[in-house]
């Protein structure tokens, strides 16, 4: 059975915490698709949901899920492709392609496979799994077992409820790409709550091998216990020799803490603590604190960005993350995320997480959210603090609060018409704090506040079509009211309210699609399927005359007028390797596309503007995948105004066993003169010289023109 479902800063943050610690909640977007924040409501329209009842003699139960496409033969098999998501009791599976053998309840999955069994996770490339026995095997795999066991391997087999085997892999208790300690292994048999029996074990600190033993018995209990953790040595040119010491302390079953000290030969010494709590299944949180004793000449090779900081000042951070779910007896979720730092240079100087090192601002927020059917509602307060590089002023922006309501697509009556809407009401508070002057006095800070109300409805109409032709129209717009606006010079507030309104529309036609299957019965490929699919996409967003007077706080305030149609034709070639268990995959595709500006803006023009056309350049892409380990892509761009190529790019790579080699080449020409402006080539490779112990990585970039 299948069916389609179609000071002042601290005071403000204290208010954020008090509001949401009483009643915290989830972001509205999370309900669109769990674990995939990039999914939009329009994406869900194109997915197919299914519900299959399994044989009662083999455990029975319902197998539910969604995919981009699927085939189902009652009592025989289910084949799903395109971002597949399955759930069977407490088992959740996501992959690119999944085949379920209904009589035996066995699953075969391929491509970015993730299998969750409660708190235990297996991930890899190819999975074979038995739903009855909960056993299986996964290749190029990683596994996580609650609370803190991670193992990786060429092959991981789950042989029982709490037993695993690992081939050619790694075992660790650290959640990191470069764990503080790990054990490389040839083979391991792991029994949870007992031991990991490891053969061919190499104990490593970081990436440095420290000890090899032919056989090692390692405790694998999931019960937490207090004690000293493995010391982590290190070295850097700035901090010299380093040693990190940590002590782990449990506080019953619902809380624990790690207290650590970082020692450095160059006197970069720090102390910190991380306290974790989970009093119930629906509530958890983390409190982090760190204090660094910086030497007088500390970080002298780094530029001082924060004007209020002097070199040699001690540094600190304090962070809180709290998450509560199922509040008020329903589907409410609340989150508090507070981050305080001693100075803006802390992120690039001291912070160890890459995503925080590159963050150009401090951000704290708290929200309370719920989702009921197609409706979602979020209350949020937040603060974003940064330093303006050009003026060295401290800029703080707050939402106190934001109320966001969204309606995901709902069908109107039984018609092929769907309505969706996004709306929000905001109160913004802006504060600019100038840096201390040469006289040692800080000028008086300035602050302003204003409100905004926004409404963006969309009506989607699916036109009558067939399996080879589909069309959809989107009609919408946006109305935004501001209680204040910028003056003509854009240097301050005018005191005048502003209402912005503009319509938008989109139109998409896919088809008529033509396909043909060739049953060759060859030794390598048994079948081919050729698909020709033309597409027409049109998008229109109207202009707004007073856009320069709109205050820009987030993406709602941005407006990019557009009136463009894009025509494309896609050729796809799918092949099924010989063999009953082999699955088909795309071995080649070729796409040609061209856009057309339908307003006064040129799609292409000369530098002086004397020549122009509404046509955009022609883009083409050829992809070839002769096997699952090799890919090749060729891109080209052709300027129709001057009748010459303006860009060509070639990229490709292949896996050779455990080795990899790849090449990219890109050339660009001036469309008007034909002069070559860029011609670069890059070669990259990775060779494993000593399996799992020593590898050679190289990358060569070369500019072919001066």
Question: Using one digit for the tens of pLDDT, what is the confidence trace for 336-381?
Answer: 999 999 988 888 888 766 556 667 788 999 999 999 889 999 999 9
Helix (H, G, I), strand (E, B) or coil at 41: helix
**Is residue 170 scored above 90 in pLDDT?**
no
Residues 293 and 295: their CA atoms lie apart, in Å, by 7
Burial of 207 (0-12, 13-18, 19+ CB in 10 A): exposed
Q: Output the pLDDT for position 556.
A: 92
Q: Which pair of structure tokens corresponds to residue 491?
A: 């240097």
Helix (H, G, I), strand (E, B) or coil at 244: strand
Q: Output the pLDDT for position 356.
A: 65
Confidence of residue 11 (pLDDT cuts 50, 70, 90): very low
Report the chain's mean pLDDT, rounded to a whole number: 82
Q: Output the pLDDT for position 278.
A: 92
Q: Output the pLDDT for position 15.
A: 30
**Is residue 48 scored above 60 in pLDDT?**
yes
- For 185-228, the pLDDT digits (tens) are 888 888 877 777 888 888 887 777 877 888 877 766 656 667 77
Mean pLDDT of the 26-37 span: 34
Q: Output the pLDDT for position 6.
A: 28
Residues 6 or more apart in contact with residue 472 via CB below 8 angstroms? 460, 461, 462, 463, 507, 508
- The single residue listed with the structure tokens 């204003």 is 450
- The single residue listed with the structure tokens 């209402």 is 499
Query: CA angle 36-42-46, nearest 5°?
Result: 90
- For 441-463, the pLDDT digits (tens) are 777 778 889 999 999 999 999 98
**Is residue 693 scored above 70 in pLDDT?**
no
Confidence of residue 24 (pLDDT cuts 50, 70, 90): very low
Please report, rounded to a whole number, the percentage of residues in the chain having pLDDT higher than 90: 34
Which of 45 and 119 is assigned the larger pLDDT? 119
**Which of 316-330, 432-446, 680-694 is predicted least confidently?**
432-446
Which of 680 and 9 is assigned the larger pLDDT? 680
Instruction: Please provide residue 309's backbone torsions phi and psi, each rounded to the nearest 5 degrees.
Output: -105, 145
Residues 515 and 531: their CA atoms lie apart, in Å, by 4
Instruction: Please provide residue 556's backbone torsions phi and psi, each rounded to the nearest 5 degrees.
Output: -60, -35
Largest CA distance in the chain: 86
Residues 4 and 239: their CA atoms lie apart, in Å, by 59
Please report, rounded to a whole number, the percentage of residues in the chain having pLDDT higher than 70: 87
Q: Output the pLDDT for position 358.
A: 64
Confidence of residue 10 (pLDDT cuts 50, 70, 90): very low
Q: Output the pLDDT for position 26.
A: 31
Which of 466 and 332 is assigned the larger pLDDT? 332
Q: Output the pLDDT for position 7.
A: 33
**Is residue 29 scored above 60 in pLDDT?**
no
- For 68-97, the pLDDT digits (tens) are 888 887 778 888 888 889 988 888 999 989
Q: Output the pLDDT for position 20.
A: 32
Number of residues written out for the chain: 706
Q: Contact, 645 vs 637, CB < 8 A?
A: yes
Residues 520 and 438: their CA atoms lie apart, in Å, by 82
Residue from 292, 340, 298 nearest 315 by CA = 292
Q: Contact, 334 vs 366, CB < 8 A?
A: yes
Beta-bridge partner residues of 564: 539, 597
Beta-bridge partner residues of 618: 594, 638
Please report, for residues 62, 81, 132, the alpha-carbon distance to residue 106 in angstroms, rounded to integers and kept in the order given.
14, 17, 8
Residues 485 and 194: their CA atoms lie apart, in Å, by 67
Which of 561 and 182 is assigned the larger pLDDT? 561
What pTM value is reported for the model? Answer: 0.60
**Is residue 59 scored above 70 in pLDDT?**
no
- For 266-288, the pLDDT digits (tens) are 888 999 999 999 999 899 999 99
Residues 541 and 456: their CA atoms lie apart, in Å, by 13
Confidence of residue 21 (pLDDT cuts 50, 70, 90): very low
Q: Output the pLDDT for position 365.
A: 94
């Amino acid at each position: 059975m299948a069916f389609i479902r179609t000071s002042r800063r601290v005071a403000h943050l204290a208010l954020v915490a008090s509001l949401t610690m009483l009643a915290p909640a989830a972001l509205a977007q999370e309900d669109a698709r769990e674990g995939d924040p990039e999914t939009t409501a329009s994406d869900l329209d194109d997915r197919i949901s299914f519900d299959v009842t399994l044989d009662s003699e083999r455990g029975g139960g319902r197998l539910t899920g969604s995919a981009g496409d699927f085939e189902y033969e009652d009592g025989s098999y289910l084949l799903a492709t395109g971002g597949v998501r399955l759930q069977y009791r407490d088992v959740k599976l996501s992959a690119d392609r999944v085949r379920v053998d209904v009589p035996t309840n066995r699953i075969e999955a391929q491509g970015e496979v993730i299998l969750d069994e409660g708190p235990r996770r297996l991930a890899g490339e190819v999975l074979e799994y038995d739903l009855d026995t909960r056993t299986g095997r996964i290749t190029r795999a990683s596994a996580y077992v609650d609370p803190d066991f991670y193992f990786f391997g060429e092959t991981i087999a789950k042989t029982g409820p709490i037993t695993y085997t690992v081939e050619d892999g790694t075992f660790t208790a650290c959640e990191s790409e470069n764990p503080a300690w790990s054990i490389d292994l040839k083979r391991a048999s792991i029994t949870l709550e007992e031991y990991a029996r490891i053969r061919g074990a190499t104990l490593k600190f970081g990436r440095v091998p420290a000890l090899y033993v032919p056989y090692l018995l390692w405790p694998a209990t999931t019960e937490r216990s207090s004690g000293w953790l493995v010391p982590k040595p290190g070295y850097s040119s700035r901090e010299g020799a380093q040693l990190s010491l940590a002590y782990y302390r449990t506080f019953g079953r619902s809380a624990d803490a790690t207290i650590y000290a970082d020692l450095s030969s160059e006197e970069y010494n720090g102390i910190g603590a991380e306290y974790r709590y989970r009093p119930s299944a629906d509530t958890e949180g983390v409190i982090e604190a760190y204090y660094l004793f910086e030497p007088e000449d500390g970080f002298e090779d780094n530029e001082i960005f924060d004007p209020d900081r002097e070199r040699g000042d001690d540094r600190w951070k304090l962070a809180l993350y709290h998450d509560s779910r199922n509040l008020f007896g329903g589907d409410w979720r609340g989150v508090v995320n507070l981050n305080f730092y001693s100075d803006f240079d802390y992120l690039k100087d001291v912070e160890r997480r890459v995503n925080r090192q590159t963050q150009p601002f401090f951000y704290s927020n708290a929200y309370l959210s719920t989702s009921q059917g197609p409706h979602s509602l979020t209350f949020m307060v937040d603060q974003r603090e940064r330093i303006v590089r050009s003026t060295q002023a401290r800029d703080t922006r707050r939402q106190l609060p934001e109320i966001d309501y969204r309606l995901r697509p709902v069908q109107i009556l039984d018609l092929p018409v769907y309505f969706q809407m996004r709306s929000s009401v905001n109160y913004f508070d802006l504060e600019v704090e100038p840096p201390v002057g040469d006289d040692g006095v800080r000028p008086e800070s300035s602050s302003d506040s204003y409100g905004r109300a926004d409404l963006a409805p969309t009506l989607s109409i699916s036109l009558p079509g067939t399996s080879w032709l589909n069309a959809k129209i989107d009609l919408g717009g946006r109305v935004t009211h501001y209680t204040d606006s910028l003056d003509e010079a854009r240097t301050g507030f005018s005191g005048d309210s502003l209402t912005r309104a503009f319509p938008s529309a989109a139109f998409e036609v896919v088809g008529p699609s033509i396909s043909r299957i060739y049953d060759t019965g060859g030794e390598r490929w048994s079948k081919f399927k050729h698909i020709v699919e033309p597409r027409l996409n049109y998008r229109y967003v109207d202009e707004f005359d007073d856009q320069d007077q709109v205050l820009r706080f987030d993406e709602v305030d941005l407006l990019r007028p557009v009136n463009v149609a894009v025509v494309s034709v896609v050729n796809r070639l799918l092949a099924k390797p010989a063999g009953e268990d082999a699955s088909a995959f795309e071995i080649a595709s070729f796409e040609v596309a061209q856009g057309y500006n339908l307003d006064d803006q040129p799609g292409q023009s000369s530098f002086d503007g004397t020549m122009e056309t509404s046509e955009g350049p022609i883009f083409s892409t050829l992809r070839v995948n002769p096997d699952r380990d090799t890919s090749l892509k060729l891109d080209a761009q052709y300027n129709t105004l001057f009748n010459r190529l303006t860009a060509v790019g070639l990229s490709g790579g292949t896996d050779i066993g455990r080795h990899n080699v790849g090449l990219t080449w890109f050339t660009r020409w001036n469309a008007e003169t034909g002069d070559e402006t860029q011609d670069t080539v890059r070669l990259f490779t990775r060779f494993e010289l000593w399996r799992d112990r020593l590898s050679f990585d190289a990358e060569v970039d070369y500019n072919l023109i001066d």
